């Protein structure tokens, strides 16, 4: 009596231990902990990739060029699509998990972020092909793009962690990712992808907010909602402090 069961569908499930990161005056960075499980009765070899990206921040990049012995900035190029924070964590290096085209399609990994310089692009007809997107930066375009990633990595805002996701038990995985103090405030997306045989078979999306809290938040709101009063208040503090010090020192 054979029952025709549908083939088991592998699925991934995940959760963040905390969905809100509060930035207060003592903020020293935070750890984002992601737990999850892979459901696959067939127990095929699985790989998990966790992509955490912060709010988008346009980037202005210039190239240093030497003119008459002096290093000058070139005209700045604006890149869009770059998240303010990005970590790609996985159970093994991404290029061992899936092919270039699969990763490119998913925008998975530092090499596959959808960063572009739209102001430098124009659409034209080339080699008889219509609507070709051509960048004014020409062949150097890749150097520029790589520089964006490199500078962000140096600032600790972009990272690739090829062993950042670990299986702690059968089907149960855990990823612990560091959020530095320089990480931007805003809404973060965490995308958890299950790969089997080089194909993404299941995807889960989770969100995380990083926001200021307590005194930090009040000061920030004060500075942005009542900027002129804030300015006057800060000058008043400065002038009073200067006056107070001179009074104290006169007595002593």
Partner 1 sequence: MDLYLPIAEVSVNAPLLVALGALVGFISGLFGIGGGFLMTPVLVFLGIPPVVAVASEANHVAASSVSSVIAYSRKRAVDFRMGGVLATGGVIGAFLGVEVFRLLRLLGQADLVVSVSYLLFLGVIGGLMLMESLRSILRRRRGEAPAAPRDRRPMWLYGLPLKVRFPKSRLYISVIPPIVLGIFVGVLSAIMGVGGGFILVPAMVYLLRMPAGVVVGTSLFQIIITTSLTSVLQAGRNQTVDIVLATLLLVGGVVGAQFGARMSARFRAEELRALLGLLVLLVGLRMGLDLFIRPDDPFVLVSGAG
Binding site for partner 1 (CB under 8 A): 23-29, 57-64, 69-76, 78, 143-144, 147-148, 150-151, 154, 181-182, 184-185, 212, 215-217, 219-220, 223-224, 227-228, 230-235, 237-239, 241-246, 249-250
Helix (H) or strand (E) holding 250: helix 227-251
| Distance from C-alpha of 157 to C-alpha of 144, rounded to nearest angstrom | 18
| Distance from C-alpha of 195 to C-alpha of 95, rounded to nearest angstrom | 12
Query: What is the closest distance, in whole angstroms, from the C-beta atom of residue 178 to partner 1 in the complex?
Result: 14
Phi, then psi, of 161 in degrees rounded to 5: -125, 90
CB nearer to partner 1: give 105 or 119: 119
Write the DSSP symbol of residue 239. Answer: H
Q: Enumerate residues 6+ apart whose C-beta is below 8 A from 177.
A: 31, 32, 33, 34, 50, 52, 87, 89, 161, 164
Query: What is the closest distance, in whole angstroms, from the C-beta atom of residue 63 to partner 1 in the complex?
Result: 5
CB nearer to partner 1: give 132 or 219: 219
CB nearer to partner 1: give 9 or 235: 235
CB nearer to partner 1: give 100 or 222: 222
Query: What is the closest distance, in whole angstroms, from the C-beta atom of residue 75 to partner 1 in the complex?
Result: 6
Q: Give yes or no for a contact between 161 and 91, defined as CB atoms under 8 angstroms apart.
A: no
Query: What is the closest distance, in whole angstroms, from the C-beta atom of residue 152 to partner 1 in the complex?
Result: 9
């Amino acid at each position: 009596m054979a029952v025709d069961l549908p083939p088991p569908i592998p699925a991934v499930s995940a959760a963040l231990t905390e969905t809100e990161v509060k930035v207060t005056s003592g903020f020293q960075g935070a750890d984002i902990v992601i737990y999850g499980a892979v459901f696959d009765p067939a127990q095929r070899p699985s790989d998990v990739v966790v992509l955490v990206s912060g709010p988008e921040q346009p980037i202005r990049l210039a190239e240093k060029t030497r003119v008459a012995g002096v290093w000058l900035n070139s005209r700045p190029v604006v890149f869009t699509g770059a998240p303010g924070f990005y970590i790609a964590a996985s159970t093994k290096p991404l290029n061992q998990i899936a092919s270039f085209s699969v990763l490119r399609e998913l925008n998975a990994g530092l090499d596959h972020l959808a960063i572009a310089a739209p102001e430098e692009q124009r659409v034209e007809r080339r080699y008889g092909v219509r609507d070709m997107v051509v960048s004014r930066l020409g062949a150097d375009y890749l150097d520029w793009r790589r520089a964006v990633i490199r500078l962000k990595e140096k600032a600790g805002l972009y990272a690739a962690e090829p062993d950042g996701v670990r299986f702690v038990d059968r089907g149960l995985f855990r990823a612990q990712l560091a959020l530095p103090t320089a990480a931007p405030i805003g809404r973060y997306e965490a995308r958890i992808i299950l790969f089997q045989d080089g194909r993404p078979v299941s995807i889960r999306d989770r969100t995380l907010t990083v926001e200021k809290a307590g005194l930090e938040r009040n000061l920030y709101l004060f500075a942005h909602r009542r900027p002129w009063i804030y300015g006057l208040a800060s000058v008043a503090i400065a002038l009073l402090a200067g006056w107070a010090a001179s009074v104290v020192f006169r007595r002593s």
